[in-house]
Each structure stands twice: as C-alpha cells, then as structure tokens.
Amino acid sequence: MRDFTIKMPSDSDTNINDNGTQNDNSIFTYHQLIQIRKQSSDEQRLKLEQELDQSSSVLLNLRTSYAELRQEIENLRSAHEDTFKQYLTVSQNWSSSKKQTNKLKLNIQSFKKQLVLYKNLRSHATNEVDSSSIKTFDVEGFVALGQKKIVQKIRNDFEHLYAQIYREMTANHEKEVQELQVEVEQAVHYQQIEYNERVMIQQKLESEIKIAQERLAHEKEVQINLEATYSELESEFKSIQVQKNEQPEVPLKERQSLQESIRTMVNNIKEMRQRQIVLERELIIYRHLLGKYEIKEQKVISYSSPPAQNVTTPALVTETERQGSIGIECPVDDTYICFTNHSQSKDTDISRWMLKRRVDSKPELQYTLPDGIRLHPGNELRIYSKLGADVTQSSSNPDNVSSSLYQKLVSNDVASWGNGDKIETILFDANGIQKVSYVQSIAPEGTVADLQ
C-alpha cells in the first residue's frame, strides 16, 4: 500500500508570483507611456520639418522676386540714361542749327538795311546835283546814324534770341529734375517695401527659432525623465534578477519578457537621443540663417528640467561664462564637446587652443587643438571621444546637417569625456587666457513633472 501526499503552494511562492505580476504591470505601463511619448515626439518632429521646408521655400521665393525687381530697376535706369543722352544730343544739334539759322537771318537783314541805305544815299546825291541851289550835306553823320541803328537792331535781336534759348533750357532742366525726382521716390518706395519684407522674414525666423528651442528643451526634459525611468527599471530588474537567482522556481519566460522590455526601453532612449541631436542640428541651421548672436561677455545659468510634482529627481544645472564669440555646449550623453562661433561676420582662429575637463575628483583631461582650425560665423566644431566616435558611426540615422556647418575631430587619447555630479569644461586660447567656462552640476533634489 503506497501513501500519496499533495504538496500545497507555500506563501513564498505566492509572494513571488504577486511581485512578478506587479513588475509586469509597471513595465507594461512604462512601455505604453514611452510609446505615447515616442508618437508625440515623431509628430512634433514632422511638423517642425514641414515648417522648416515652408520657411525655406518662402525665403527662396522672396530672394528670386527681389533679384527680378532689382534687374528690372537696373534695366529702367539704363534705358533712362540712354534716353537722356539722346535728348542732350538732339538738344545740342537743335541749338547749333537754331544759332546758325538766326545768324543767317541777321546777316540777310543787315544786307537789306545796307542796300536800303545805299539806295537812299544815291537818291539823295542825285537830288542834290540836280537842284540849282548848292547845299552842303553831312554824309559821314548820316552813315554813322544808320550804322548805329543797325547795331541797335542786331543787339535787340540777339538779346531776344538768347532769352528764348535760356527759357527753353530752363524748362527742359526743370522737366528732367522732376523726372529724376519721381524715379528716386519710386526707388525709395521699393526699398521700403523690401526692408519691411526682410523685417517680417526676420521676425518669422526668430519665432521659429524660439519654438525650436522650446521643443528642444522639452525633448531634453523627456530624455532626462526616460533616463531616470531606465535607471529605476534597471535597478528593479537587478533586484528581480537577484530574487530569481535566489528562487530558481520562477519561470524562465517571465525573466525573458523583462529583459526584452528593458531592451525595448533602451532602444527607445537611444532613439530619443538621436532625435535630440537632429533638433540641435536644426537649431544650428536656424542660427546660421538668422545670425542674431553678438560677441560679448556673458554668463548663463540654466536648468535642464523645471521643478514639478509627484516625482523627486535631481536637476542638472548649467553655468556658462564666455568672453568673445566662442561658446561651449556639452550633450547629456557626453559623446562630444561642441565649440560654436556666435559671431555674425568674423572668423575665429582657434589653433593651439587648449581644452581642459575635470569630472568630480577624477584626473583632469586635456586636449590641444591642432593648427589650421578656423570657425566661420555660425559654424561648430565637435570634438568626439574615442567611444563617442564609435557610437556616432554605429548610429542608424544619417547626418542631416551639411558638413559646411560643423567640423569634426576625434581625440583618440581620450576614451570618454566622462560623467559625474560636477563637470567643469574650460577653454584657453594659445596665450593661456581663459575664454569659456562651462560647468554642469547636480542641484538639490527637486520634482519633475509626470509623464503624460
């Protein structure tokens, strides 16, 4: 006779199953939230790309219309100059012909008057000879009187002619001045219209840059939240893994599903980082188009995420001090260090400049820029660590920014730029003068808004 016993499940097994179910539920919830955030980020990115394309097409159309208008004005101006030259030539020819005609008329009139005078003298002499009485006649006085009258008549004719020529020239000059004044007023009007269009385009670009900056800040905040969530899930995964190692009765499928969920979240975080890089590049393009930054000494203090409710997390504080046109930006993943020339029209030679980076109490990292490095206005120089260059090359997204907007260097002597609670990045020029200071530190614990 055999004894059969039924083994009932213990309380420890029940607790393990409950914990596994709760972890599955929390992971599923986080996964859904991340998917929702991913969809919203994709929609925002598509909308931003469409707005950028529309702005580029509008700017291209405005430039084309401005070029056509300018060409038309040049054609009108050249035609006006040719017409004016022809008018001057015709006026000179007309004046010379008029002068010759008047001269001939005066000569004819003088000949007629002399002929009349000679006829009068002849008739008078004949009458004197025929008359019986002998009278004396002053011939010289009579000739002088006739010549004086002729000269007076010629003078009056010349005065009348010159007065008429002066009036005609004055009227033509006033007409030309009025035409030139009308053309100048039209050119000023066109210039005012063009200036207003440029101001509108500049305001539109500024608003688009502001929107892009706000979206970039939002994406950075979402990335920090995802990283915090990833760290929490990783710690939970490690604790669950320890529990599973202690309790081998836990099914293998649950552990595989947890690992798959964590891999999915890691991939999502990587995609969010890549989107952040794309947004930063688009922001560089906007800065290059607008060219609104000035060269001056400034100090900036920024927080990566504003305090909110429900979840406590340390905030990342960034302090920047800049003397000149060169600025520093360091991404959260520390794959590279970026130098930006904020000048509007001046190139900057940064050859033999030294970069120093100190992370907490670790040894200081140094890197000296090679010769021949110049930054054009609005351009960037990215110095990748060896690990950061490998990560960038293995990225699936292509580079969407033209190589003319930034340069790339790889420091093979630096494996990683490092990360910690306090990071100091300082740039010195070739004379050892500090130009830029960029400090990242962890502020006291605050609260971060819940994921929506």
Residue 344 sits in the same domain as residue 452: yes
Residue 199 sits in the same domain as residue 307: no
Residue 367 sits in the same domain as residue 406: yes
Measure the CA–CA gap between 262 and 31, rounded to whole angstroms: 9
Measure the CA–CA gap between 198 and 62, rounded to whole angstroms: 9
**Does residue 2 sit within a domain?**
no
| Mean local confidence (pLDDT), 34-53 | 84
Name residue, tokens 């529990």. 243
Number of structural domains, the chain?
2
Q: Cα dihedral sign for 205, 381, 295, 349?
A: negative
Collapsing DSSP states into helix, strand and coil, what is residue 125?
helix
Residue 261 sits in the same domain as residue 328: no
**Does residue 119 sit within a domain?**
yes
Which of 202-216, 219-233, 297-311, 374-388 has the weakest average pLDDT? 297-311
**Does residue 7 sit within a domain?**
no
Q: Which of 235, 263, 292 is the last residue of a domain?
A: 292
Question: Radius of gyration over alpha carbons of the chain, in Å?
Answer: 47
Most confident of 27-41, 65-79, 288-302, 348-362: 348-362
Residue 437 sits in the same domain as residue 374: yes
Collapsing DSSP states into helix, strand and coil, what is residue 366?
strand
Residue 89 sits in the same domain as residue 71: yes
Q: What are phi and psi of 394, to 5 degrees?
A: -85, 0
**Does residue 213 sit within a domain?**
yes
Collapsing DSSP states into helix, strand and coil, what is residue 134?
coil
- Cβ 321 vs Cβ 436: under 8 Å: yes
Whole-model pTM: value is 0.35
436 band by pLDDT with thresholds 50, 70 and 90: very high
Over pLDDT 70: what percentage of the chain?
76
The tokens describing 284, both together, are: 């560089």
Task: Provide the CATH number for the domain around residue 332.
Answer: 2.60.40.1260
Residue 212 sits in the same domain as residue 297: no
Residue 178 confidence (pLDDT) above 50: yes
Residue 270 sits in the same domain as residue 310: no
Higher pLDDT, 367 or 451: 367
Residue 283 sits in the same domain as residue 375: no
What residues have CB less than 8 Å from 404, skipping those under 6 apart? 379
Residue 354 sits in the same domain as residue 423: yes
**Does residue 79 sit within a domain?**
yes
pLDDT tens digits, one per residue of 201-229: 888 888 888 888 888 888 888 888 888 88
Q: What is the pLDDT of residue 16?
A: 55
Q: What is the pLDDT of residue 306?
A: 42
Which residue segment(s) compose the domain that 312 sits in? Answer: 293-452
Pairing state between β 406-411 and 380-385: parallel
CA 142 to chain CA centroid, Å, is 92
Measure the CA–CA gap between 348 and 296, rounded to whole angstroms: 14
Name residue, tokens 């000679």. 118
**Does residue 399 sit within a domain?**
yes
Name residue, tokens 């120093």. 356
Measure the CA–CA gap between 41 and 35, rounded to whole angstroms: 10
Burial 398-434 (b: 16+ CB within 10 A, else e): eeebeeeebbebbbeebeebbeeeebbbbbbbeeeee
Residue 142 sits in the same domain as residue 200: yes
Residue 177 sits in the same domain as residue 263: yes
The residue among 43, 336, 449, 337 whose CA lies nearest residue 215 is: 43
426 band by pLDDT with thresholds 50, 70 and 90: very high
**Does residue 63 sit within a domain?**
yes
